[in-house]
Amino acid sequence: MGKLHEECGVFGIYSSAARDVAAMAYYGLFALQHRGQESCGIVVNDDGVFTAFRDTGLVEDVFTPETVRALGEGSMAVGHCRYGTTGSSDRNNAQPLLVNHIKGKMALAHNGNLINSAELREELELEGSIFHTTTDSEVISYIITKERIGAASIEEALNRAMLRLKGAYSLVVMSPTKLIAARDARGFRPLCYGRMPDGGYAVASESCALAAVGAVMTRDVRPGEIMVFDKNGVRSITEHCDKRDCSLCVFEYIYFARPDSVIEGSSVHNARLRAGSFLALEHPVQADVVVGVPDSGIDAAIGFARQSGIPYGIGLIKNRYIGRTFISPGQRTREDKVRIKLNPVAATVRDKRVVLIDDSIVRGTTCARIVGLLREAGAREIHLRISAPPFLNPCYYGTDIDSRDTLIACHHSVAEIAEIVGADSLGYLSVENVGKLTDNFFCKSYCTACFSGRYPTELPKKANKNRFEQKLSERSPGE
């Protein structure tokens, strides 16, 4: 649908006694489905015996009732749903990753993107490591395993590994006896944990997944923190905390996260309302109705309507039974996909001056088709307002923008983009106001590099999404 995609969602559950943790992981992943629709997987730990199932597809398609039952009961489980920002979309790249090493077993689920994965992978390959995937997540698993050989515990190995990992990573790691959550020192991607009714714990990319399994959120995992859940309770390792400024991706609030989630103490829903309010102040317009593009544009549309005094109306209906990965039959065009997924409500927009709120414009194709749908439904004017600044730069921390080539704002002015997508006017949220979307006492700064070009880290030497596949294809058949 021409939208940005985030890498994935991670989930973990720890119980003091054997129970149906596979079902709990399923519910958690279902709540995180918006973060990745390419593949998913669950690993269950029953007294040190790991049982796993992973495949491409949506959670409800991959995990049938029979599949979930086959995973059996256990005291721990790790789950993952993926949209790949490094590595191709095939079953081999599905997570969680399973590793058998000389000191035991490990399952790992990763959200984010390393900026030094190419260098680390080359180093490991020269030492004889054999990779089975083309993801940077496998690089992380190898680094942890390598450190585990000389470390007294899995958490000590992870603590050492974090000295070598650069970039974005929120991790859930499972050993035979422990569940571990860890977040990079800048906290690019969210991660939180909560208490289960039976005294166990759940870890998730977003608080909405905790609520889905009945857990009460305790707090976010701090940037740089390692949380250990085992028979002794909860322990926190903070050696890497407060070493870097927080760089949480601000687009989590604009688009990636579910509106009912709370990240770093701030409501995603309230942040989007505020974005709409700022838009109304920055780009006022005379209009009859405000319409939001489902789903993430709706909250911002409500905020715009409240601030401007222009009534909010339901102008687009989303087909809830079509996922982002649905395949259209025969020779159906991309335009057909938009028509199948979104339908205009003619009674709301006919003969009206419409303010259309969306969360972003990437290439402009999807936006143009939505504007076209409203024109066909009888809208007299369409004033497009975007609750994010223009995308001008690649992201290296877990969003699938690895080049400026396909970003419409890099090649056209605002007026030109408005003409291209068919809108009467166009206004973006300013970079200044995007940093004011939350009242956040825990994270004082955000990563806005895709808008501003101000990167919080050094830039990767190799940034192409499919860099590992390219490397393999460049080798001759005889090598």
In angstroms, rounded to a whole number, what is the distance separating the alpha carbons of residues 268 and 272?
A: 6
Q: Which of 153, 161, 209 is nearest to 178 (CA)?
A: 153
In angstroms, rounded to a whole number, what is the distance separating the alpha carbons of residues 151 and 153?
A: 6
Which single residue is written with the structure tokens 């699938």?
A: 400
- Which residue in 8, 208, 395, 443 is the catalytic one? 8
Sign of CA dihedral 78, 137, 53, 263: positive
DSSP label of 359:
S
Phi, psi of 377 (to 5 degrees): -80, 0
What b-and-e string marks burial along 283-316, b requiring 16 or more CB atoms within 10 Å of the CB?
A: bebebbbbbbbbebbbbbbbbbbebbebebbebb
Pairing of strands 179-183, 192-195: unpaired
Rounded alpha-carbon distances, angstroms, from residue 212 to 11, 26, 156: 11, 10, 31
In angstroms, rounded to a whole number, what is the distance separating the alpha carbons of residues 346 and 318?
A: 14
In angstroms, rounded to a whole number, what is the distance separating the alpha carbons of residues 367 and 421?
A: 6
Task: Let me know if 8 is a catalytic residue.
Answer: yes
In angstroms, rounded to a whole number, what is the distance separating the alpha carbons of residues 385 and 284?
A: 10
The beta-strand segments (E) located in 399-440 are 425-428
Instruction: Retrieve residue 398's tokens.
Output: 């877990």
In angstroms, rounded to a whole number, what is the distance separating the alpha carbons of residues 235 and 230?
A: 9
Asked whether the beta carbons of 187 and 246 are under 8 A apart, the reply is yes
Q: What is the largest CA-CA distance in the chain?
A: 72
Asked whether the beta carbons of 272 and 259 are under 8 A apart, the reply is yes
Active site residues: 8
